[in-house]
Amino acid sequence: MEKPHGNSGNKCSVPGYKQDLVRKAEPLIKEEPLKPWITLKRNIKNIKYLPSMADISFKNRYVYVDVGARSYGSSIGSWFKKQYPKQNKTFEVYAIEADKTFHDEYKVKKGVTLLPYAAWVKNETLSFEINQDPGDKVSVKGRGMGRIQPVNSKGGFDGEVDKIQGFDFANWLKNTVLEKDFVVMKMDVEGTEFDLIPRLFETGAICLIDEIFLECHYKRWQRCCPGQRSEKYEKTYGQCLELFTSLRQSGVLVHQWW
């Protein structure tokens, strides 16, 4: 697979210590899991967190960016706050979530900055599709996971559609953090990772991220319906594996997330 950053001129030189950390990381899962929801639980136990492998005390600020945050408890409260090793550092938390269903609860959460928009490759209005496929994750409010599309994109869709504002995520990141900051990111963006990751490379913003927990969306086997794959996504597991492999080859400590 061709490196996502191409010949943009924004490629950053990866320090040797970062390359060493990538080599020490847990191996990528090469074979597509038949039950990915079970594989995640097992894989979490194997993950080599960066602060468990190296000292991060020399960093300037400590920042966690949850891209596709959903509710506070879905990953910020249940995983990052409780499980991520922070070496006693206080992290600034940014929650990026376009679905207005989840916005109110962030008003009472201290230490969390909500960006009520969709992470995208530029600033533009988008269509936000709420899908209710039987295999989708569904929140306590019975709401399926949202997928964003450019407003002028074609193709039929039977679910609920809202108009939302997308923003240039790579540009925001470059304006928000510095290389001397420690930046952890979780990205669960319903397929948009195949747009966002190349954009991070093109702009050089990928250099600002120390560790990524990435959920890659593909035509996976569904929990509800044995023998059936979700038709919501176009990519294959092989294409996801290529994305993870390319990131690690570029010196980015990325972990597979489900």
Give me the DSSP letters along 67-82: ET--SGGGTIIIIIHH
Average pLDDT over residues 76-96: 97
| Kind and range of the H or E run holding 24 | helix 16-24
User: Do 79 and 47 contact (CB within 8 A), yes or no?
Assistant: no
- The predicted structure's pLDDT at residue 51: 97
* 131 band by pLDDT with thresholds 50, 70 and 90: low
Query: Which segment, 155-164, 171-180, 216-225, is predicted with the most confidence on average?
Result: 171-180
- Residue 96 is predicted with a pLDDT of 98
pLDDT of the residue at 151: 63
* 32-48 mean pLDDT: 85
Helix extents (H) in 154-215:
169-176, 193-203
Question: What would the mean pLDDT of 35-57 be, rounded to a whole number?
Answer: 89
Domain boundaries, the chain: 47-132+146-256
Interval 195-253: pLDDT, tens = 999 999 999 999 999 999 999 999 877 777 777 777 778 899 999 999 999 999 989 99
Q: To the nearest whole percent, how much of the chain has pLDDT over 70?
A: 84
15 pLDDT higher than 90: no
DSSP, residue by residue, 56-68 = -TT-S-EEEEEET
DSSP lists the bridge partners of residue 113 as: 94
- Pair 50, 170: CB distance under 8 Å: no
- Provide the pLDDT confidence category of residue 14 given band limits of 50, 70 and 90: confident
Q: Does domain 47-132+146-256 fall into CATH 1.10.10?
A: no
Nearest to 80 by CA among 97, 67, 93: 93
- Whether pLDDT at 56 is above 90: yes
pLDDT at 10: 59
